[in-house]
Amino acid sequence: EHPDMSNTPVTVLGLGDMGTALARALLKAGFRTTVWNRTAAKAEALVPEGALHAATVAEAVEASPLVVVCLLDYDSVHGTLAPVAASLAGKAVANLTSGTPRQAREMAAWAADQGADYLDGGIMAVPPMIATPAAFVLYSGSREVFDTHRAALDALARSEYLGEDAALAPLHDIALLSGMYGMFAGILHAYALIRSEDIKAADFAPMLGGWLNAMAGAAAGFAEQIDSGDYAQGVVSNLAMQAAAYDHLLEAAEEQGVSPELLAPLGPLMARRVADGHGHEDLSGLVELLRTRP
Ligand code: FVH
C-alpha cells in the first residue's frame, strides 16, 4: 500500500536543458513544482509557467517530499546536497544525473546516512523527447520511492524499475549508450568511405539504415551465445572468416584515404580469439577477451 502521491509537490534541482524539460513536464502534468538552479535566471524563467522559485537549495528541499536532481555530474550533486544534508532526512531523492555504477552506489549510501530514500535514474532521451512516448527513464534503488512517486516519475517519461541496487540504472544506461556510440562510430566510418568518392551521404543513408536495422537482430542471437557460453551455437558466419574479411575493411579504408582509427581496435581482438582456437565460433566470443574481471 502506498499513499496517494498522484499530486505530490515536487522539487527539481538543476535547470540545465534536461532539468528544465523535466520541470516543464511536471508543471504540465499539474504537479506543484518548486525549482532551484545555481544560475537563478533559469529558475526565474519558469515562474510564468507556474513554477515556484526557491532562492536556496535548503528552501527547495524543504518544499517537497520528492526532490528530483538533474545536475551536470555527481560532483555537482554532492556539492549541492552536502550543505543541506540535515534537511534530507525523510525526503525521497531521485537523482537523474548521469554517472557510473560506483558513483550511484556511493550516493545511495551517502543519502541513507542522511536518512533519505534514494532512487537513481538514467534518462534515455534528449530534452525535447521528455514527456513523449519515445522517452524512458531507467530507475534503481529504493522501490518505495519508485512506487510512492510513480505518478510524478511517469509524467517525465515511461518509467522502468530495474532493482534495489542503485548501480543498476547507470549500468544499463551506460551499456545502452556504449552500444549506441559503437553504432555511431560505424556510421561515421561508413560515411567517410562513401564521401571518399563523389557520392552524397544522403543518397547512401537509406541503404545504411536498412542494413543496420537488419543487423540489429544479431543482438538477441549474441545474447543467447553469451549467456550459455556456447559461442559455436547457431554460427552462420564463423569468426576465422570474419577476421579475414575484416582485414579487407581496414585495407579498403587505407586505399580510400579514410582513417581506420574507429574500426581498427576490433581487428586484433578477432585475430587473438582465432589464434586462441575459436575460429569456428561466432563473433560474440570476443566478450571473453573484453571482460577483465571474472
Ligand atoms: N541533455 C541531454 O541530452 C542528456 C540526455 C541524457 C541525460 N543527460 C544528463 O542529464 C544531466 C543534466 O544534463 P543537462 O542537459 O541539463 O546539462 P546542462 O544543460 O549542461 O546543465 C547542467 C546543470 O548542472 C548545473 N551545474 C553544473 N555544475 C554545477 C555545480 N558545481 N553546482 C551546482 N549546479 C551545477 C548547471 O547549473 P548552471 O550552469 O545553470 O548554473 C545546470 O543546471 C547530466 O548529467 C547529463 O549527462 C542529459
Q: Is the ipTM of this complex over 0.90?
A: yes
Backbone angles phi, psi at 230, to 5 degrees: -100, 90
Cβ proximity of 160 and 139 under 8 Å: yes
- Statement: residue 34 has pLDDT above 70: yes
For 13, the 3-state DSSP assignment is: strand
Locus of grid cell 521528455: 130
Q: Is 71 in the pocket of ligand 1 (CB under 6 A)?
A: yes
Angle at 238 between CA 233 and CA 241, to 5 degrees: 175
Q: Which pLDDT band, with edges at 50, 70 and 90, does 155 fall under?
A: very high
Q: Which tens digit of pLDDT belongs to each residue from 122-143?
A: 999 999 999 999 999 999 999 9
Q: Which pLDDT band, with edges at 50, 70 and 90, does 4 fall under?
A: low
Grid cell of 176 as nine digits: 545502452
Q: Average per-residue pLDDT in the chain?
A: 96
Grid cell of 3 as nine digits: 499513499
Backbone angles phi, psi at 54, to 5 degrees: -90, 130
pLDDT at position 249 is 96
Measured N-to-C along each axis, helices 101-113 and 74-81 cross at an angle, to the nearest 10 degrees, of 10
Q: What is the 8-class DSSP label of residue 81?
A: H
* Alpha-carbon gap, residue 267 to 21, rounded angstroms: 42
Please report the atom of ligand 1 found closest to the CA of residue 72: 24
Domains of the chain are 10-164 (3.40.50.720), 172-290 (1.10.1040.10)
* Alpha carbon separation from 154 to 29, 61, 136, 161, 253 (Å, rounded): 10, 21, 9, 12, 46
Q: Which tens digit of pLDDT belongs to each residue from 51-87?
A: 999 999 999 999 999 999 999 999 999 999 999 999 9
Mutation choice for ligand 1 from 72, 77, 174, CB with most ligand atoms inside 8 A: 72
Interval between CA 13 and ligand 1 midpoint (Å): 10
Type and span of the H or E element at 139: strand 136-141
Contacts of residue 240, defined as CB under 8 A and 6 or more positions apart, other chains included, come to 274, 279, 280
Length of the chain: 294
Cβ proximity of 111 and 118 under 8 Å: yes
Cβ proximity of 12 and 33 under 8 Å: yes
- Statement: residue 3 has pLDDT above 80: no
Q: Which tens digit of pLDDT belongs to each residue from 78-119?
A: 999 999 999 999 999 999 999 999 999 999 999 999 999 999
- Ligand 1, atom 46, lies closest to the CA of 98
- Statement: residue 294 has pLDDT above 90: no
